[in-house]
Amino acid sequence: MTNLNIHPSAIIDKTSNISKNVEIGANVIIGANVTIGEKTKILANAIIENNVTIGANCHIYYGAVIGSKSQDLKSDDGESFVIIGDNNTIREYATINRASKNGQKTIIGNNNLIMTYSHIAHDCIIGNNNIFSNSVNLAGHVIVENNAVIGGLTGVHQFCRIGEFAMIGGLTRVNKDVLPYFITVGSSAKIEGLNIIGLKRANFDRENILLLQRVFDEILIKNPTLNLFLEKLDEFKKTKEILNLKKFLKDSKRGVITF
């Protein structure tokens, strides 16, 4: 393969598909059936294992490992995948595992920042515009919606879901679903308030922010049961955000973190 942007020490499987203007650094290893989109940069010592698709304009830093086999002891030996979208930044030594079962996928959307030493386990589904701070660890089958911020050294239990525009403080232990729009913090995690700064930065209008603040003041601070939470939400104006909260609660399988 002749390409001035590929370091001669890189090892690239002949079945891989490397697009134009891709930069590949020293000692990078790229396995079988890998696709790399245009203008993606892969820095030295990164490893892209088998069955990985990476979109355009991604930046993968030193020593990251993407597509390694699931650490689930129940995983089979079938063909599983990692699918990564466009404009993602994956920092040093982050790890992303393939799905655990034949034909399944670990999926990461677009415009995510995944910082150093973070781990995304098998079968996770990550949306768009999320920020994972250093050493965030997601167990298997975790879902992260869009525009969430997860603080450093946070651990997320398998099958948990993190809602859109959620903010999770550093060192938080997440063992239930994390509500959208609110700030969740602590080793015994609880909601501490509305993610006002995040919502303002996302251009939420004042009326919707005030409505979500009422949800915190009138419902969440009383630490309701799931059924009571849903009942109380019926008393609020049916905005997109309120309807999304109701759907999130109805879809929850692990229960949600509250006050």
**Residues designated as active site:** 122-123, 140
Distance CA 70, CA 77 (A): 10
Query: Which three-class secondary structure state does DSSP give residue 91?
Result: coil
Please report, as a single letter, which amino acid is at residue 145: E
Beta carbons of 59 and 40 less than 8 angstroms apart: yes
Tokens describing residue 116: 């150093």
Distance CA 63, CA 152 (A): 19
What residues are paired with 168 via a beta bridge? Answer: 150, 184
Ramachandran region of residue 240, left (φ > 0), alpha (ψ -120 to 50) or beta? Answer: alpha
